[in-house]
Chain A
Amino acid sequence: MKTQTLRSPSENASIAGEKPMPKYIRRSLFPLSIDDPELGGKAQASWADAIVLDFAKKPGCDWQEDLKARMPAAIHAAAKGGAEVFIRINRNAAAAELDAAVFSGISGVVLKGVTAPADIVATAGRLDALEAGRGIEPGSLEIDVEVDTAGAVWHSLEIARASRRFGFFLVNEPALCRSLGMQSAPALEFDPLEYIKSQLIAVATSVGGQAAGMSYPLGLRPEDAGGDAVKAAVRRARDTGFKGALCPGASWIAACNEGFRPTAEEADYYVKVIEVFAEGLKRGMASVPIDGKMIDVPVDVRAKLYLKWANRAQARDDEKARAHE
């Protein structure tokens, strides 16, 4: 008789290899305007994982009708390089802006100015209707939150839990500093947003989402950054727990794509860890040494997760490369 191994759902979910790590590969989120005549070219040349589309309401005309007429083509253009496309929406006018801007082809919306979970609930409700009315798969559109207010920080857990659509926190450091009355020039020896960033990473992860942000001081003075400074800052941000960053300029994108993932050396090391630990298990050992370090179950699990992350990042790069062919 065949013996079945019975597992509870939580046991199944805890199997390391089945955990998404991370859920999304969005290392670089690049804002572009739909009014930019070179939108398609810039999006394709950027190699960003995601394009965040901004729009201006044209005066002297019905801005909603104008946007509805232009948005589908803009979404198509932004996706040319294989990027996911998001629309940035103002919380204050969310319903009207969603009606005018949400069309097939986007992955979701980035909501800015959020102060309370009710903002997410209202947006989710509007997306339900728009998905139904515009031929978009029900429940597929994501809500990402640009964290730029004190209220968004304070209510972050309730905000992240407010809808199954929640995907990302994107830290907008200059705007958040203004909301908190902080000096937005990086004049302190430490990152005044350190604890806020930690909170957002932990909260987003707790609901299966992620957080995008940059390390201090680059998040507050992007204009001064050189290539090496961006690379170093991305590494610090990755090591803090961020999975990507909102890129103020195209110059950040390559560093973000390369930095917000395990390095090739790290991936090689994880492969070695997994192989050596598996061999040790066969020999009845609970832990094995590699290069003077002890490898046990948690280290093995982490290696599998991070290797999966590296593979998924590589797959995303391959996907974008195909879009460029």
Chain B
Amino acid sequence: MAETVNPRRSWMIVPAHDPAAVMRYPEREPDVVVLDLEYSVPPRSKETARAGLGALINKIGDSQADAFVRVDRDTRWADVRAAMRRGIRGIVFPGPDAPEEVVELDRLIAAMEKERGVEPGRTELALMLESAKGFWNAASIAQASPRVTALGVGRIDLTMMLGPVPQDEFRLYRFLMTRTLVAARMLGKQPLGALWRPGSRGGVATKDATARAAREASLMGFTGCVCATPEQVAPVNEGFAST
């Protein structure tokens, strides 16, 4: 029987280059604060964001929320080096294609744990499937490191790559979610995803649409999802409460 591996319902994305925005997170009560080095950070602010990670992780580490850092796939090595500080709980790795990439990141994290005095093996990896290749390799990717504790569907990137033009029922997305769920449950990882409807994802989702997406995902077997905006945290926590 499947068990809830991990009670982290809301993974709130906050732009790491904007400490003021980050530190408003307690108002929303997310289970996970994801300090973002990817989409929400303008290219010219990446270095600033990396440089400020240590202080932010320290502050979040003292709270109820877990601190994760979402790295940029293309600059993940530098991002991981910047992120590895005492207090960090894990890395969100978007868009892995192959197990070798996860193994490589695992080794880098292990080296950084040793160098920075972080408890060995403590740093987790949450993988977001964002490519067709990665999606198909889901199980082997998720098994590539014992650090992997969560497996999610990176809806926007993955569906952008696959190219559907959904108008009403987004059946392809249900397939993507189902297969990701099967892989995650088979391997004992936390399945991350919400059943976003066309036109109602991420930053443009209303509170009601978010709650519905989370509730339906919960019924499907998912236990948490990424929140693109702070406003999504409450409905996501509510929608996944039953898990």
Contacts and interface: CB of A to CB of B under 8 A. Distances in A.
Interface residues of A, number: 21
Given A188-B219, A192-B220, A181 B191 contact: yes
A183 interface: yes
B182 interface: yes
A25 B185 CA distance: 33
A221 interface: no
Given A150-B2, A154-B139, A192-B221, A181 B185 contact: yes
Given A180-B181, A181-B243, A195-B174, A151 B186 contact: yes
A159 to B, nearest CB: 13
A174 B183 CA distance: 18
Interface in A163-212: 177-183, 187-188, 190, 192-196
B1 interface: yes
Given A190-B174, A194-B174, A195-B175, A182 B182 contact: no
A179 B183 CA distance: 11
Contacts of B200: none
A179 B220 contact: no
Interface in B164-200: 169, 174-175, 178-179, 181-183, 185-186, 191
A191 to B, nearest CB: 9
B219 A182 contact: yes
Contacts of B178: 192-196
A154 B216 contact: no
A154 B174 contact: no
A188 B220 CA distance: 8
Contacts of A177: 221
B223 interface: yes
A177 B221 CA distance: 8
A181 B186 contact: no
Interface string A242-264: 00000000000000000000000
Contacts of B219: 182-183, 187-188, 192
Given A192-B178, A194-B174, A178 B1 contact: yes
Contacts of B183: 150, 154
B2 A181 contact: yes
A34 interface: no
B58 interface: no
Nearest to A178: B1
B4 interface: yes
Contacts of A192: 178, 219-221
Contact of A181 (B174, B175, B221): B221
A153 B180 CA distance: 12
Contacts of A182: 181, 219-221
A268 B112 CA distance: 73
Interface in B184-231: 185-186, 191, 216, 218-223
B182 A154 contact: yes
Nearest to A149: B186
B194 to A, nearest CB: 14
Contacts of A154: 139, 182-183, 186
A194 B172 CA distance: 12
Contact of A150 (B3, B174, B182, B216): B182
Nearest to B243: A181
Contacts of B221: 177, 180-183, 192
Contact of A153 (B169, B182, B222): B182
Central interface residue in A151, A181, A183, A195, by most chain B CB within 10 Å:
A181
Contact of A180 (B182, B216, B243): B182
Contacts of B1: 178-179
Nearest to B178: A195
B182 A181 contact: no
Interface in A119-169: 149-151, 153-154
B2 to A, nearest CB: 4
Contacts of A181: 2-4, 181, 185, 191, 221-223, 243
Interface of A: 115, 149-151, 153-154, 177-183, 187-188, 190, 192-196
Given A179-B2, A193-B178, A195-B175, 16 more contacts: A150-B2, A150-B182, A150-B183, A154-B139, A154-B186, A181-B3, A181-B181, A181-B223, A181-B243, A182-B220, A183-B219, A190-B169, A190-B174, A192-B178, A192-B221, A194-B174
15 contacts: A150-B181, A150-B182, A150-B183, A151-B186, A180-B2, A180-B181, A180-B221, A181-B2, A181-B222, A182-B221, A183-B220, A187-B219, A188-B219, A192-B178, A194-B174
